[in-house]
Every structure is written in structure tokens, then in C-alpha cells.
Structure 1
């Protein structure tokens, strides 16, 4: 959500400047939006003339529709589903864009030692967070195979399908889509600055005509408000408030820990991550939730990640900021 100015009772997060922004004088603001990935998307742009809008919404929607056709685990006709249904040992050709996302996903899995796991679809479906309907309650996880993302074998323009491996890119594809829309807007003649949002994942570019950045509100599980200046930065949040269910008083998050094949019990309710790439912020937010407080904070310090944690504390919550994020306050 774009805000005009941060109110005095809000925490204000101001990331480091990637480059000195130039105020887009003589521009007009335009807001476009639509539906994608079972959620909504919005862009706010400052452009030099109305003519720049001709066909722009359709082009943005086409990018999102293309990503969905390639990477959705909910579509029987997607390239991802085609891979997941392929016989073990066969080579599956995949579109270049999906191969890029798979490369990112496997790199994140390696970096986080499997806390981010792109081969977690069987567990996602068993717990009722996929496309398949399941009985209510806690499932029998003994039927699940161990995650084997390391078995994915690359060849030119595709992947060899390992036995029992099925991929889920939901924890990275939405962030990648935010980046893809921003790339399109940056290449559009006459567009001088923009803010992109898809289902709460956001990325800003440049500033508004008054020289102020795009202000966005950070998601939290409590009634505490922080706003951040997004000038060439992206932000993503993962946690149980996004999607979960309660059984016998226990909250079961949609974020699966591949070590247990069950919703994470890390004690972390949500993590918000800033990065210049939204796909990376998206994936890291999921991985940090899985890691748990101590390991996640050590990881954030090691890799200088600006992030905000909300953790369970008895019947309430407490927050914790990484050192890099504290520097931005």
C-alpha cells in the first residue's frame, strides 16, 4: 500500500540508496491492476504522458499469465505439472524463464542447506495447502518420501526427472513475477518510476514527483505499524498469517519444514526480508521461517540480510530485527 507520508507514531524504515534518484518532473500518476496467482496485482507508475498506457495493462497481465502457465502447481496444463507428472528418469524440456527460476530455487536451497526446498510439493499437498482436497486434521506423514532436491539433474533446456521428486515454486515465483513486471516497466518509454505489488510482495523503483520514495506498510501479526521507503528495493513477508489452519489448538502453517515433512514449528510467526531482487526476498523469507530464531538470526548476520522477525512469546508475540535492518531505522 502506498502512503503519502509516514505518520509520527509509525516506525520508519529507510533502506540504503542503491543510486541517487531523480524526481520525475512533469509526470502523471497512473494505477493499474488485475488478478494473478489467486491474488491481486497492482502497479503505480509515474509517466510522462497518457500515451504510455496504451496496451500496458495487457502486457503486464500477459507476463503474469505466462508465468502462471509455466510455474503453477495448481494448473494441470502448466509446465511445472508436466514435469511433476513425467516418468522418472525422463528428460523434460522447460521454458527458459522457468529454468531461470529453477536455477534461483536450487541456488537458494544450497545456500540455506535445504531450509528453502523446491521439492516439497508432496508434503504441501498432503497437508492440504496444494491443489488436492484432503481430509481435515493432521495427516500421516509416514507416507511421504524424503525431499530429494539435490537429485535434480540439469541438461540443456530442461531437467531429468528424479524418482519421487515433485517441484513447488510458489515460495519464489511470486517474487520473480514482481521483478518481471518491474523489468517491463523500466523498459517502457516514458515511465519514470514505479511501485509493483503482487499479493503483498512489493518492489519500488525511483521516487515520486515530490522527491519522496514510495512508502509501503510492512505486514505484521500484531497491531504494530512500520512503513518502509522502497526506492530500488523489494520486500517480501512469509509466515503463518499468510495461510494456515488450526487443529486441536495448534496452528499449522503452509510453510513446510522438509526435515520433518510437516508445517514448521520454529516459533517464528513471520519474517519480512528486504532485497534488491524480490525473488530472493521471497525465498529468503520462507527459509528464515523454517530455520528458527537462532539459526535464522545467525544466517541474517552472516549474509547481512535486512529482515524483521515476529516470534511467539507465551500467549503473545515479540519482534526482533537483524543488525542490518536496525541500521535503517
Structure 2
């Protein structure tokens, strides 16, 4: 029987990076699988990007009022899940937030360095509303009521992680760790029998510069589960001492004002973990933790406290650390 070894491959997608680590026989090459992995990611990006005018999502966003459109199966699944989360959270999470994301300079439009006017925010909010969208599961149809602009950036990367994992499963690879833009999922174990473990970065470290244990907040086992982390420390701007992050509350039209530095969420798959990180950031530490406890969600907040960064863990996240 061939020796199993760890192999890795990486690339670019969705304006960020992806990587796969896998346990394979020594005589097989993960690099030879890179093209197939990239094709899975290109499929998702080609359907769900708001930066590509030819994507299915861009076509829907630009469509005239009162029209129905058929989405590719993958895009339809993600839209349906995003709308389900919106429904369950009374709009604290809302994938139709696209106009506000663009207005604040965090979307495909030009970046900005000062807040938009209140009139502009109010005008953008009139185009927000997950409940205005209708879906037809039988045909994968979606109805454009007019002015709706979907933004799937808070769920598409997680979905891509899951889809790459399924691709590896079909290829007969039983142990892998997939990452797309900081969203991760692991399956199986490393060649020495140990589980996949990843460190949750403490906010403030430079991208890719975590070199010491004290730059990590917690280390979690990802064998058989996924993790998504949302933070305010990558995409933001500051005006007159006030920081405006890319996490915008769809109910107010403004970036969240509270003290959340980052949120990490564990779940069985990355598509479920990904939007929960955004939701927790919007809800904030008090409402968010209540929501997590009531639903048994594994959530860790890192907060800006008076004495520096503070951690707050849900019971399910504490249990996951002990497993």
C-alpha cells in the first residue's frame, strides 16, 4: 500500500486566494487536480460575482422591473439559502443590501473615503428588501421587482468551499482542508492521524503575517466542520476618528457602530457558517450571543474592550474547543 503524504495547491478566485491541502498516495499529484478545483471556483465566480457584468447575478441585478429570470442551479441554491437566513433574522441579514454596499464604497463601484449623505442612504434603503424577491423552485426562477441588487459576497465563498470539498470527495480524496478567502472546511485526518487544526487570527495582524502563538486567539479542530470569520479590520475607512467598516446594517443603512472586531462561526458546512458571521456582526455581542445561545450556534466574538481585545464564546463554541 502506498504511503500517504500531505500535498498542497493554491490559486486565486473571487478577488482573493484559495488553497487545498490533501492527504494522497505519494505517487499521485494534487497539482494535477488544480485545474478541476479552479474550474469549480470559476463556475461560482462566473455565476455570483457582482464585479463581472456577464455573471448571472449581474444580469439579474440589471434586469428591468417585473421580469422573471432563470438562475443556474448553484446560484439559485445560494440565493435561496440567503433569503432563508434573511427571513429567519427579520432582515438583520439581507442579501439585497447591494445598493448600500456600493454606496459606502465596499462594492464594485469606486471606493470612498467619507460617509455618503443621509439622502443618498435613504434612497439606497428604498431599494433594499429581501421580501420583495420571489423564487420558483421548480424552474430556478427569480423575480426582479425593480431596483433589487443582490450581493452574495457573504455566502458565495462559503458555498465555494463546500463545492470544492464535494469535488475532492468525488475524486476519491478522503482527507482535505479547503480554504477560500478565509472560509475553511476540513474532512478526515492528516497522515499522522491528527485532526486539521487552524488558528483564529487576533485582529490587527497583517495579512499572512501570523507567526507567533500570541497572534492567535484560539485553535480549533476542523475535522468534519467548517469555520467562517468576519472582521472589521480589513475593509474600512476612518473619518474624524470614526471608523466605518464594510459591515452595514441593512435595517439602518449605516455600518455597525458597536465594538465587534471579529466573529468566528463553526458549522457543519461553510455555506451555513459564512452568513452567520455577517449576521453576528450586525446584531452585535449582546443580541448576537442571545441568538447563538437560543439556536445552539458555535460563535466567538472578539471585541474592542477598554483593556484591549476581549473574547466572548457561546457554549457551543466552548464545547467545540474541548472536542
Q: Quote how far apart the aligned CAs of 1:175 are.
A: 0.5
- Name the residue aligned to 1:260: 252
Q: Does 1:228 align with 2:220?
A: yes
Q: Quote how far apart the aligned CAs of 1:134 are.
A: 4.8
Structure-2-length-normalised TM-score = 0.90
Q: Quote how far apart the aligned CAs of 1:52 are.
A: 5.5
CA change 1:186–1:316 in 2 (3 A) is: same
Q: Deviations over 1:73-104 (max 9, x none)?
A: 11111111000000011011110110000111
Moved more, 147-156 or 48-57: 48-57
The alignment's C-alpha RMSD in Å is 1.7
- Which SS does the other structure have where 2:296 is aligned? coil
Equivalent residues in 2 for 1:239-250, closer than 5 Å: 239-250=231-242
Residues of 1 paired with 2:315 and 2:203: CA distance?
21
Residues of 2 paired with 1:25 and 1:318: CA distance?
47
- Name the residue aligned to 2:177: 195
Moved more, 43-52 or 231-240: 43-52
- Which SS does the other structure have where 2:280 is aligned? helix
CA change 1:26–1:232 in 2 (3 A) is: same
Runs of 5+ consecutive residues of structure 2 not aligned to the other structure = 205-214
Residues of 2 paired with 1:325 and 1:148: CA distance?
32
Moved more, 116-125 or 237-246: 237-246
Q: Does 1:207 align with 2:189?
A: yes
The runs of 4+ residues in structure 1 deviating greater than 3 Å are: 49-55, 222-225
- Name the residue aligned to 1:157: 140
Q: Deviations over 1:199-229 (max 9, x none)?
A: 1111110001211011111122154432111
- Which SS does the other structure have where 2:174 is aligned? strand
- Which SS does the other structure have where 1:50 is aligned? coil
Runs of 5+ consecutive residues of structure 1 not aligned to the other structure = 1-23
Residues of 2 paired with 1:118 and 1:95: CA distance?
18
Moved more, 267-276 or 168-177: 267-276
Q: Quote how far apart the aligned CAs of 1:317 are.
A: 2.5
Q: Does 1:126 align with 2:137?
A: no
CA change 1:237–1:145 in 2 (3 A) is: same
Residues of 1 paired with 2:48 and 2:258: CA distance?
28
- Name the residue aligned to 1:44: 21
Structure-1-length-normalised TM-score = 0.88
- Which SS does the other structure have where 1:101 is aligned? helix
Residues of 2 paired with 1:25 and 1:117: CA distance?
49
